[in-house]
Amino acid sequence: MDLLNGFIRIGLLNMKFLKTISVREFRNILESIPRLKFEDEVINLGESFNRILSQDITSDINVPHFRKSRMDGFAIIAKDTFGAEEDNLIKLELIETIQAGDIPQKKLNKGQCSYVATGAAIPENSNGVVMVEFTDKKESEVFISKAVTPGTYIIEIGHDVKKGDIIVKENTIIDLATIGILASCGIKEVPVYKKPRVSLISTGNELICPDINKLEIGKIYDINSVVLKKAIENTGAKVDFLGIVKDDYNDLKNAIEKALNESDILILSGGTSKGEGDLGPKVLEDLTGIEIYVHGVKIKPGKPIIFVKLKKKLIFILPGYPTSALSCFYVFIDNFLRKMSGFPLRERYSKTLEIGERIYSTIGRHEFKAVKIQEDDGEKKIFPIKTGSEAISTMFYANGYIEIDELESIIEKGDKRRVYFF
């Protein structure tokens, strides 16, 4: 696919202005953007789960750093046990009991043994362990009923990790096993990439905050500041909500400039449609240095999604309706931010089910239609949600969505469709 089709090159700026592109084109643009290069920082190992290592990590120690027993038994000199059998017991002198954590005090000489618990250090000169099951202890005498070869049940130094080896490579996502292996080497802190810094702004004169403002006619509580904030946090990014900005050119311009100074990615909601009060596109088009500018993706709900790449910064403007904003977020931004964070991508759980009631769609727009799953004739089927993107309850009652192609206007009862679950 040639992204240059449809690009409008404007004089020397060579800007890529894309107006109203398809879902696939927008996805391709987002996929073509590599992970931003973030600085690194050093954090506690215990807080490093799901963060990304920014350097190879080597171990300063061998693990284990001493020879230890794999079993409860008696540490011996293997040669001393040769010939031992059930009817030919060999007697050894017990000189020490070594529990896990003890430092062995005595070196073995010919004919001697020490008790060793699982994980305990092996005494000097020992080269094997006889399991308790093949011994009989009588005070300071131990009778051995099985010969062992050198090395039996001994865990050698560096068996698990060798000193100086790279244990975990740069760019690894730190999972529990990674934390485990680093902890085993005594590593307390790790260098990781900083989280992407995302600024979040809600725009609209109608929006108010329940802490601060009285609910008057015309005003509504801002939902996106709470919902999108958490959705962004769930991708591994660090979010800073910069507040509600009024529909004023200068206010919005100042807020956007502040956000771009303080963060890598800016997500605004509201101010994208074509009403008189929508300033987002106007402010963005005045920014200098834009590399990619997308205004409008042919989807429903949320057609007016805007995307700008400006040097190393990225700006998204999502629709103001929370249901549209959240569905656009899930469809485009969720995994994009996860990629930026280095987080595991979200795999969408989906299933093909029968349509339980005719569903209508608008020709010319790729629709992400919120649906609920209900039992009908003893079978789980797909039903449309009757409210639209203006209602937050649409998302609340939906179990998932189906994708409806640009060219479809009706999906008949009885058709089969794939539902993507939230």
Question: Of 18, 57, 199, 222, which lies in the binding site for a copy of itself, with binding defined by CB under 8 A?
Answer: 222
Structural contact between residues 243 and 229, judged by C-beta atoms closer than 8 angstroms? no
> Which CB atom, from 223 or from 297, has the smaller least distance to a copy of itself?
223
Dihedral of alpha carbons 375, 377, 382, 386, sign: negative
247 binds a copy of itself (CB under 8 A): yes
- With vertex at residue 269, the alpha carbon angle to CA 263 and CA 273, rounded to the nearest 5 degrees, is 135
**How far, rounded to the nearest angstrom, does the alpha carbon of residue 88 sit from its chain's CA centroid?**
61
> Which CB atom, from 33 or from 373, has the smaller least distance to a copy of itself?
373
45 in helix, strand or coil?
Answer: helix
Q: Give dist(CA 10, CA 16) in Å, integer.
A: 8
Rg (CA), the chain: 33
- With vertex at residue 23, the alpha carbon angle to CA 233 and CA 408, rounded to the nearest 5 degrees, is 125
Question: Of 21, 129, 207, 256, which lies in the binding site for a copy of itself, with binding defined by CB under 8 A?
Answer: 207
Shortest CB 208 distance to a copy of itself, Å: 9
Shortest CB 396 distance to a copy of itself, Å: 4
**How far, rounded to the nearest angstrom, does the alpha carbon of residue 364 sit from its chain's CA centroid?**
35
Question: Of 237, 398, 402, 419, which lies in the binding site for a copy of itself, with binding defined by CB under 8 A?
Answer: 398
> Which CB atom, from 65 or from 253, has the smaller least distance to a copy of itself?
65
Q: Which residue has the tokens 């300063």?
A: 60
Shortest CB 15 distance to a copy of itself, Å: 28
Q: What is the DSSP string of 190-231?
A: EEEEPPPEEEEEEE-TTEE-TTT----TT-EE--HHHHHHHH
Structural contact between residues 350 and 403, judged by C-beta atoms closer than 8 angstroms? no
* Segment interacting with a copy of itself (CB under 8 A) among 159-167, 252-260, 355-363, 375-383: 159-167
Question: Of 8, 31, 56, 66, which lies in the binding site for a copy of itself, with binding defined by CB under 8 A?
Answer: 66
Q: Find all residues with CB under 8 Å of 226, minimum gap 6, and list them.
A: none
Question: Of 13, 49, 311, 312, which lies in the binding site for a copy of itself, with binding defined by CB under 8 A?
Answer: 49
Q: Which amino acid is at 21?
A: I
400 binds a copy of itself (CB under 8 A): no
> Which CB atom, from 81 or from 323, has the smaller least distance to a copy of itself?
323
Strands (E), 103-188: 112-116, 128-131, 135-138, 141-144, 154-155, 166-168
Question: Of 95, 179, 310, 337, which lies in the binding site for a copy of itself, with binding defined by CB under 8 A?
Answer: 179
Question: Of 33, 226, 287, 373, which lies in the binding site for a copy of itself, with binding defined by CB under 8 A?
Answer: 226
Question: Of 83, 396, 409, 418, which lies in the binding site for a copy of itself, with binding defined by CB under 8 A?
Answer: 396
Q: Find all residues with CB under 8 Å of 409, minimum gap 6, and list them.
A: 360, 361, 362, 363
Of residues 300 through 329, those in contact with a copy of itself by CB under 8 A are 320, 322-323, 326
Task: Please tell me the count of residues contacting a copy of itself according to CB under 8 A.
Answer: 81
Of residues 3 through 42, those in contact with a copy of itself by CB under 8 A are none
* Segment interacting with a copy of itself (CB under 8 A) among 78-86, 211-219, 283-291, 309-317: 211-219
Q: Which of 206, 207, 172 shows the shortest CA–CA distance to 192?
A: 172
Question: Of 8, 10, 166, 215, which lies in the binding site for a copy of itself, with binding defined by CB under 8 A?
Answer: 215
Alpha carbon distances (Å) from 387 to 107, 224, 282, 395:
81, 19, 31, 9
81 in helix, strand or coil?
Answer: helix
Q: Give dist(CA 327, CA 401) in Å, integer.
A: 9
61 binds a copy of itself (CB under 8 A): yes
Question: Of 91, 137, 146, 159, which lies in the binding site for a copy of itself, with binding defined by CB under 8 A?
Answer: 159
> Which CB atom, from 251 or from 408, has the smaller least distance to a copy of itself?
251
Question: Of 155, 190, 242, 404, which lies in the binding site for a copy of itself, with binding defined by CB under 8 A?
Answer: 155
Of residues 112 through 141, those in contact with a copy of itself by CB under 8 A are 115, 117-121
Q: Which amino acid is at 288?
A: T
> Which CB atom, from 41 or from 156, has the smaller least distance to a copy of itself?
156
Of residues 327 through 386, those in contact with a copy of itself by CB under 8 A are none
* Segment interacting with a copy of itself (CB under 8 A) among 33-41, 206-214, 359-367, 413-421: 206-214
Of residues 269 through 288, those in contact with a copy of itself by CB under 8 A are 273-277
